[in-house]
Amino acid sequence: MRVFYFPVPVTVAVDIAVWLAVQFAAAKFVTGLPAERLGADGWLYRARPWERGGALYEFLGVKRWKDRLPDAGPWFAGGFAKRDLSSRTGDYLSRFSLETRRGELAHWLAMTAAPFFFLWNRPWVGGLMAAYALAGNLPCVIAQRYNRARLARLLGKELL
């Protein structure tokens, strides 16, 4: 339900500013979370049978496009770059897996902001903002879950 009414140029500027702030705030928030809050067996991060160890994501073409996604990990103090696998040690792979959970959470959190855009946008634009939230964040969630399945195989862990 629209509560605030702005001229169109202001609305566009507000939409852009709010999305930037939401994405940044979500990333900053999860960067500060202690590792214990991102447990591998948590409900959100647990591998699902329908993911088939990452095969579903391969079917969706994740290998073709995941390297084009931005990696905001190194933008923050204490952040972790996930663009490349720079080591195959158990400690590094475990940390990488942890950071995929951190990244996944950031994108889920960002998507939760979508309903707020209906407060100052026309309903159809609010719908576009919700579609943007999905289009801009679900590919990142998919890439994180796919990478985590691959890391689990490298670590020799069962996914379920």
Task: Answer for the pair 92, 126: CB distance below 8 angstroms, yes or no.
Answer: no
Query: Is residue 145 included in any domain, yes or no?
Result: yes
Check whether 159 has a pLDDT greater than 70: no
**What is the value of pTM for the model shown?**
0.90
| pLDDT reported for residue 92 | 92
* CA 125 – CA 123 distance, rounded (Å): 5
Q: Looking at residues 24-37, what average pLDDT do you find?
A: 93
* CA 5 – CA 42 distance, rounded (Å): 41
Query: Is residue 56 included in any domain, yes or no?
Result: yes
Query: Is residue 3 included in any domain, yes or no?
Result: no
Q: How many domains does the chain have?
A: 1
Query: Is residue 1 included in any domain, yes or no?
Result: no
Tens digit of each residue's pLDDT (9 = 90 or more) over 46-103:
999 999 999 999 999 999 999 999 887 778 777 787 877 888 888 999 999 999 999 9
Query: Is residue 112 included in any domain, yes or no?
Result: yes
Question: Which amino acid is present at 24?
Answer: F
Secondary structure (DSSP) of 93-131: HHHHHHHHHHHHHHHHHHHTTGGGGGGTS-HHHHHHHHH
Query: Is residue 95 included in any domain, yes or no?
Result: yes
Going by C-alpha positions, the residue among 30, 47, 24 that lies closest to residue 102 is 30
* CA 97 – CA 38 distance, rounded (Å): 10
| pLDDT reported for residue 93 | 93
Which backbone phi and psi does 131 adopt, to 5 degrees?
-65, -40
Query: Is residue 2 included in any domain, yes or no?
Result: no
Query: Is residue 119 included in any domain, yes or no?
Result: yes
Q: Which domain holds residue 121?
A: 8-155
Q: Looking at residues 115-144, what average pLDDT do you find?
A: 98
Helix, strand, coil % over all residues of the chain, rounded to 5: 70, 0, 30
